[in-house]
């Protein structure tokens, strides 16, 4: 088993990315390099962005934040001006409660709760 996990994505606008993940989501910045920044998502999971002039396509990526408080996150982020592409709702197919939004780079973000994370 691995000890930590880092997902790296590309951005053409590090300032907007830093504002969104640091100020809006409130994730702690744990490493700042000349062209890459890494934010801590959980105790052992991290999200990094590297600035590139031409960013990679954003389709096909969903970055999911798992929490029991989907509605609370939805309300807090809306109060900060975040627009959601889908309001919180239950998905019977996957037995989850979730909502969707896009970050400043166009990446699809999901805030999700597993209704029964350990089915019998």
Tens digit of each residue's pLDDT (9 = 90 or more) over 106-120: 999 999 999 986 655
pLDDT score recorded for residue 111: 97
Do residues 13 and 62 share a domain? Answer: no
> Using CA of residue 120, residue 88, residue 21, residue 77, what is the dihedral sign?
negative
Do residues 107 and 70 share a domain? Answer: yes
Do residues 74 and 116 share a domain? Answer: yes
CATH of the domain at 115: 3.10.180.10
Tell me which of 33 and 2 has the higher pLDDT.
Answer: 33
Do residues 40 and 64 share a domain? Answer: no
Domain count, the chain: 2
- Band of residue 53 on the pLDDT scale cut at 50, 70, 90: confident
Do residues 50 and 62 share a domain? Answer: no
Do residues 42 and 3 share a domain? Answer: yes
pLDDT score recorded for residue 117: 66
Tell me the whole-structure pTM to 2 decimals: 0.85
Tens digit of each residue's pLDDT (9 = 90 or more) over 11-47: 999 999 999 999 999 999 999 999 999 999 999 999 9
Token output for 98: 């979730």
Answer with the one of 38, 54, 70 that is the final residue of a domain: 54
Answer whether 9's CB lies under 8 Å from 105's CB: yes
Answer with the one of 54, 72, 94 that is the final residue of a domain: 54
Q: How far apart are CA 76 and CA 53, in angstroms?
A: 32
Do residues 83 and 106 share a domain? Answer: yes
Do residues 14 and 44 share a domain? Answer: yes
pLDDT score recorded for residue 2: 81
Tens digit of each residue's pLDDT (9 = 90 or more) over 63-99: 999 999 999 999 999 999 999 999 999 999 999 999 9
Q: How far apart are CA 105 and CA 55, in angstroms?
A: 9
Cβ neighbours for 84, distance < 8 A, ≥ 6 positions apart: 74, 77, 78, 99, 100, 101
- Band of residue 60 on the pLDDT scale cut at 50, 70, 90: confident
* Structural domain for 19, as ranges: 1-54
């Amino acid at each position: 088993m691995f000890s930590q996990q880092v997902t790296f994505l590309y951005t053409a606008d590090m300032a907007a990315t830093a504002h969104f993940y640091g100020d809006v989501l409130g994730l702690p910045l744990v490493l700042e390099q000349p062209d890459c920044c890494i934010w801590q998502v959980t105790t052992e999971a991290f999200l990094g962005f590297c600035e590139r002039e031409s960013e990679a396509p954003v389709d096909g990526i969903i970055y999911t934040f798992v929490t029991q408080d989907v509605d609370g996150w939805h309300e807090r982020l809306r109060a900060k001006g975040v627009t959601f592409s889908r309001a919180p709702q239950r998905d019977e197919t996957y037995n989850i409660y979730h909502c969707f939004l896009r970050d400043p780079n166009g990446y699809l973000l999901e805030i999700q709760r597993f209704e029964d994370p350990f089915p019998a």
